[in-house]
Structure formats: structure tokens, C-alpha cells
């Protein structure tokens, strides 16, 4: 198993990649965010966060991207490989407490079958031990 070597490659940045996911991916809508996923040829999963201008000012957009990047980093060890994921945050996500957002995030990924069989907490324990 080849781990993604650095944080920069873990996120989708090029507009051609993002357009490809938007064209061919399957979608999931929740009150806090939208999720688009499709398969890729790379041996690891990648995340992309898209926040448009309609979301708000620069401060709100930056904060949304930071929060969802952090959520992506927390689950990055447990995501099924060869997947490109695109997240569209909604404005409600910044008003809600972090605990509820985190629960909605993990349950959405689990519902799409994107998490590996092992639970996130157990993986954390085994890695630390």
C-alpha cells in the first residue's frame, strides 16, 4: 500500500480534475454539504473542496475550506482507494456545532460505502499502538 506522500497531492487542485469528477461522479445531498465521488487511476483517494462566491465573503469561504480539509484529513487513512471525492459545503455547516458536522460527515461517507470495513476509532488505536 502506497500512502499519499504529502498533503498537497491529497487534495484535488487542478480544474480539469474537478471538471472530470463533476461530469462523471455520483452525487449525495445532505443539509450541510453535497458530495460527488468517482473512481480514478491513482492508487490513493483524493479530496476536493469547492466553495463558490455565493457562499459568502472571503473569511467565510476560507473557514469552510479549513473545516472540511480537517474533516478530510481525519478520515484519510480509512477511505477506500482509487476514489476522487468532491465536497460542496453549504452555509449551514458553519452554524452547526462541530460534533454534529463530524457525525454527519462520517455517516455520509459510510452510507456511500467509501470507508473501509474497520472503524475509525479502532484504526486510530492500532496505528498508535
Partner RNA sequence: GGAGUAGACCGGAUGAUCGCUCGUGGCGGUGCGCCGCGGGAGGAAAGUCCGGACUCCACGGGCAGGGCGCUGGGUAACCCCCAGGCGGAGUGAUCCGACACCGGCGCCACAGAGAACAGACCGCCGAUGGCCGGGCGAAGGUCGCAUGCAAGCUGAGCUGCGGUCUCCGCUCGGCUCAGGCAAGGGUGAAACGGUGGGGUAAGAGCCUACCGCGUCUGUGGUGACACAGACGGCACGGCAAGCGUCGCCCGGAGCAAGACCAAAUAGGAGGGCAACCCACACGUCCCGAUCAAAGGGGUGGUUUGGGAACGGCUGGCCCAGUCGUCGCCCUCGGGUAGGUCGCACGAGGCUCAGGGUAACCUGAGCCCCAGAGAAAUGAUCAUCCCCGUGUCGGACCAACUCCGAGACGGGACAGAAUCCGGCUUAUAGGUUUUCUCCAGCG
Partner RNA sequence: GGUCCCAUCGUCUAGCGUGGCCUAGGACGGAGCCCUCUCAAGGCUCAGACACGGGUUCAAAUCCCGUUGGGACCA
| Residues that bind RNA in the complex, under the rule CB under 7 A | 5-8, 11, 13, 15, 49, 57-59, 62-63, 65-67, 70, 73, 97-99
By beta-carbon proximity to RNA, the closer residue of 10 and 110 is 10
Name the minimum Å distance from CB 79 to RNA: 16
Closest distance between RNA and the C-beta of residue 103, in Å?
A: 12
The pair phi, psi for residue 120, each rounded to 5°, is -65, -40
Instruction: Identify which of residues 113 and 126 has a Cβ nearer to RNA in the complex.
Output: 126
Alpha-helix runs per DSSP H in 11-97: 15-24, 58-74
Cell of 48: 476536493
Q: Which residue has the cell 498508535?
A: 128
Amino acid at each position: 500500500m502506497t500512502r499519499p506522500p504529502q498533503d498537497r497531492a491529497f487534495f484535488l487542485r487542478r480544474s480539469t480534475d474537478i471538471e472530470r469528477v463533476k461530469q462523471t461522479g455520483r452525487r449525495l445531498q445532505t443539509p450541510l454539504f453535497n458530495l460527488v465521488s468517482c473512481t480514478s487511476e491513482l492508487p490513493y483517494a483524493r479530496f476536493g473542496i469547492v466553495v463558490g462566491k455565493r457562499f459568502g465573503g472571503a473569511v467565510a469561504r476560507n473557514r469552510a475550506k479549513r473545516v472540511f480539509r480537517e474533516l478530510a484529513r481525519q478520515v484519510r487513512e480509512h477511505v477506500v482507494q482509487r476514489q476522487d471525492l468532491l465536497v460542496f459545503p453549504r452555509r449551514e455547516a458553519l452554524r452547526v456545532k462541530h460534533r454534529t458536522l463530524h457525525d454527519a460527515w462520517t455517516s455520509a461517507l459510510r452510507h456511500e460505502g467509501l470507508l473501509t470495513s474497520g472503524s475509525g476509532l479502532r484504526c486510530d488505536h492500532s496505528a498508535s499502538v
